[in-house]
Structure 1
């Protein structure tokens, strides 16, 4: 007779299955190629001075899943490059132009950057965070903290 109501063996880390792994049939190399293509499009938009377009491209279709950590790091750098190229006075207008899903993805990248202060400019990220919270409210923070689709750390 067992006194447990929960099967604790099912919670073993070795049995962890990433729920996003089965959502794509792409290989890590294909995802990295897409991120590199995205990086090229972002550089082109930044070169033309169209920072809003660059931000939308950078935030679009982020790679999720444990197999794509390299692509996630590359995509994170692309997003950070865009965030660092925006003037502080333009942040509010850019944030207000984003849809709620893009705001959530932006918040994920902001927290990713804040978790690595040696690699990213936290002052810039805090300016972005302030404007995101003003625009999206605390809901964006809660959604990001509870979402299983995460941006992997370095």
Structure 2
């Protein structure tokens, strides 16, 4: 006689399939090529001191799914490069120009960076987080924490 209504043994990591893993027909190589093309566009925008365009391009169409870990890492590094290139006095203006969806995606990257303090500058990320919460409210935090689509492990 079991007191459980859910078979928790069926929820092991080996048997778990994310809902969006099978939504794309693209291969990992195709997604990495898209990220690399995006990276060249972002870097050219940064060379022209157009950080708003660079950030919007870096946040556009992030790779979701376990099969795209390499592309996720590349895209995450690209977003972090853009965030670190913006002067702290310009952060509020850049954030205000982002759409709510872009704010949520940016929050995912900020939380990812904060989870890896040895790799990323947490002081910069906290400055960005403050401005994102000012622009998007507490709802931005809740949406990111409850979203199943993660940008990396």
Q: Give the TM-score band, short-chain normalised.
A: over 0.9
Structure 2 residue matching 1:92: 3-state secondary structure: helix
Q: TM-score, normalised by structure 1?
A: 0.95
After superposition, the CA RMSD in angstroms is: 1.2
- 2:3 and 2:19 map into 1 onto residues whose CA distance is 30
- Is the aligned partner of 1:108 residue 2:108? yes
Structure 1 gaps, min length 5: none
Residue 20 (structure 1) shift? 1.3
Secondary structure of the corresponding residue to residue 45 of structure 1: helix
Alignment deviations for residues 60-97 of structure 1 (CA, whole Å, 9 cap, x no partner): 00000000000000000000000001011110011110
Aligned counterparts of 2:3 and 2:86: Cα–Cα separation in 1: 59
Secondary structure of the structure 2 residue equivalent to 1:16: coil
Contiguous gaps of at least 5 residues in structure 2: none
Task: Give runs of aligned pairs for residues 99-138 of structure 1, distance below 5 A.
Answer: 99-138=99-138
Superposition TM-score, scaled by structure 2 size: 0.96
Cα distance between partner residues in 1 of 2:70 and 2:25: 17
Structure 1 residue 2: Cα displacement: 4.8
- The match for 1:52 is 52
- Alpha-carbon shift at residue 147 of structure 1 (Å): 0.5
Q: How far is the alpha carbon of 1:121 from its aligned partner?
A: 0.9
SS at match of 1:13: coil
